[in-house]
Amino acid sequence: MENGMNRSLVLLQVRIDSSRLPGKALKEICGLTVIEHAMRALKKIPADQHVLVTASGDEAYFSDLAEKQGFELFCGSRKDVLDRFIQAGRYFKGDIIIRATGDNPLVAFEPAEFLLKKLSENPEWDYTAMRGLPLGSGVEVFRFSALERAAGKTDAPYDHEHVTPYLYNHPEQFRIEYFDSPDEMASNARVTIDTLDDYRSISEIFDNLYANKPVAVKELVRYLKSHE
């Protein structure tokens, strides 16, 4: 999809330490780790490069899995995740970033492709996302140049831990565009993994829906609505 200033990177952030559920990215669901399910879904997005972005010291946990799923591996700051993204974006020369997190194995890859297309077609936009998707299935798509500008404007620990808040919290400085999810993709259910109970719930979803390929968001939402 590389075209002029539209070289696109999927940057999937992951870490091995987690206060509530240590090692959650390496827990298995249906024969694959959580992070592998995320990578397989993200590979369906037609980006120019797919990169697993982890903390220095964690590469031994993820290098083989990244190679197996066709992802590059990049290591950076453990605490300053914003800087980790800046360094990865510079290293891989990205213009557009698709950001996802490794505790979300049910990535809504169809909306992600739509958002990538829209941002690519609108060079004046800085950031876009889709509202209303199941919590934990969505991605953020933004211009790397906007992220660099944001990084230069904030020293707040929250912004540096969560990467994009300065961007979307300052619409007076950045062009922000949101889309509402179609009804067949909309749900307020949580499909992110923060706790052991989350892991069990997501495992049950996979047990019912997974057929050796990433679960489409419409299929996921149909299941979620039938089990409300």
- 2 located within any domain: no
Total residue length of the chain: 228
Q: What would the two tokens of residue 168 be?
A: 């979307």
pLDDT at 2: 55
Closest alpha carbon to 194 in 185, 186, 202: 202
- 147 located within any domain: yes
- 3 located within any domain: no
**Does position 112 have pLDDT exceeding 60, yes or no?**
yes
Q: CA 32 to CA 51: how far, in whole Å? A: 18
**Does position 136 have pLDDT exceeding 60, yes or no?**
yes
Q: How many domains does the chain fold into?
A: 1
- 168 located within any domain: yes
Q: At 130, which CATH number?
A: 3.90.550.10
**Does position 64 have pLDDT exceeding 70, yes or no?**
yes
Cα-based angle 151, 18, 218 (whole degrees, multiple of 5) = 80
Domain that holds residue 53: 8-226
Q: What percent of the chain has pLDDT over 70?
A: 98
